[in-house]
Amino acid sequence: MSPHLSRRHLLAASALLPLGLQRPAMAAPASGPYRVGAFTVTPLRDGLFPLEPSMIPAAASPAGQTLLTGAGLPAKGPSPEPVNAFLIRRGGRHWLLDAGCGTVLGPGFDRVTAALAAEGVRPEQVETIWLSHLHADHAGGLLTPDRLARFANAELVLQEREVAYWSDAAARASAPAPLRPMFETAQAVLAAYSSRIRRVSGEAELAPGIHALPLPGHTPGHMGVLIADGSERLLIWGDIVHSRILQMPHPDWTVIWDTDPAEAITTRRRILDRAAVEGLRVTGMHLATRGRIERADTGYALV
């Protein structure tokens, strides 16, 4: 969510958190695990990020301030938001969806490996890592502090469009300022895993019962992962929302890191509506829980 921020900026932002929201919230375990048929899906909490209204510019409005104060937060934020990766297991196999921030965004993150260990899983046991997109709060944890591959045996799977965008020198040169520093981490990840990257396109089958769901706009190859077994389904939707408090009622409120804000809005509305119609259970990298989507008087609600 914050791939371009400096450590100083992050530290300053976390200093703004109400006292009660600092350490205890940072240490809060993720919810779950969730059963989806024979799959076990365990959110791995990498850390907690202080989202400031300047990162969702529309939130610096009376409507935004009302939502924040209604949630017990200061009117000017920040709103503490989780950063999650997900461990997905079935029949002795271990897959990861995203890997958290690692050490690239400073202190307060990099808990995915410890969360994996608490589940009895060593990094070398992970056979495949599906990456929702290449922003640092999802891909930074793929790297050791010296920028080598942290997962010795894992294949890295992501959308072809995502690899193309972050590998493109012209895209880097012409990117809006908040996006430009993200290229460094993205390219370090692609380099560290270069011999074991698999590119997929569209709604590819990632494993039996698990499909990619392209959700473009936040980044060109941003994707969710739809897990299905029998009648049970769970959509892990990546960064469709960075703030449940602000963006569920206002799906047209964009974050400053969207590559294509207009497409991000269209995608967010489309998937929220689909989830509401289909009664789909959803969770995400910046959601503290899972739930179903309902249409609300204003926008949508996670229930």
How far apart (Å, rounded) are the C-alpha atoms in residues 268 and 109? 27
- As measured in angstroms, the least distance from the Cβ of 129 to Zn ion is 16
| Burial grade of 210 (CB within 10 A; 0-12, 13-18, 19 or more) | buried
Query: CA nearest 155: which of 206, 79, 110, 112?
Result: 206
| Dihedral Cα 12, 14, 19, 25, nearest 10 deg | -170
Candidate segments 129-137, 204-212, 222-230, 264-272, binder of Zn ion by CB under 5 A: 129-137
Number of residues that bind Zn ion (CB under 5 A): 3
- As measured in angstroms, the least distance from the Cβ of 257 to Zn ion is 8
Of residues 90 and 254, the one with the C-beta less far from Zn ion = 254
Give the footprint of Zn ion on residues 223-282 (CB under 5 A).
Answer: 239
Site string for Zn ion, 159-188 (x = CB under 5 A): ------------------------------
- As measured in angstroms, the least distance from the Cβ of 135 to Zn ion is 5
Among residues 137, 143, 163, 268, which is the contact residue for Zn ion, using CB under 5 A?
137
E strands in the chain: 34-36, 39-51, 79-90, 93-97, 128-130, 155-159, 197-200, 205-207, 210-214, 223-229, 232-236, 281-283, 291-295, 300-302
What's the start-to-end Cα distance of the chain, in Å?
Answer: 23
Of residues 90 and 109, the one with the C-beta less far from Zn ion = 109
- As measured in angstroms, the least distance from the Cβ of 284 to Zn ion is 9
Please report whether residue 1 would count as binding Zn ion according to CB under 5 A. yes
- As measured in angstroms, the least distance from the Cβ of 302 to Zn ion is 17
| Burial grade of 89 (CB within 10 A; 0-12, 13-18, 19 or more) | middle
- As measured in angstroms, the least distance from the Cβ of 185 to Zn ion is 12
Please report whether residue 121 would count as binding Zn ion according to CB under 5 A. no
Residues that bind Zn ion (CB under 5 A): 1, 137, 239
